[in-house]
Amino acid sequence: MKEQRHIIYRGQVQGVGFRMTTVRIAKGFHVTGYVKNLADGSVELIAEGEREEIRSFIAELEERMEANIREKTENRIVAAQAHSDFSVHLADGLENGRLR
């Protein structure tokens, strides 16, 4: 069964290549969704796919970025299947990944 994970990462997660690393890792898995910087300094991740595929993707991301992640908030829901790929989204109030 496909599911969606909504995760907020806090810590030193902006300005360290977190989004690009996430996209590169996602290319190795059958997941769709997006990653974006939020105005409060956190990063939002939406990932959809088969449960095990998402688990493996997130495990690799968190292992790679563990020095930067201080806190994680996660919610799981049934996948909306609203995404056709995995990409970086710019957040409201941000321009080129930086606060305006």
Give which of 52, 98, 69 is closest to 8, Cα–Cα: 69
Q: Is 19 an annotated catalytic residue?
A: yes
Single out the catalytic residue among 5, 10, 19, 24: 19
Q: Is 75 an annotated catalytic residue?
A: no
Single out the catalytic residue among 10, 24, 37, 55: 37
Residues marked as catalytic? 19, 37
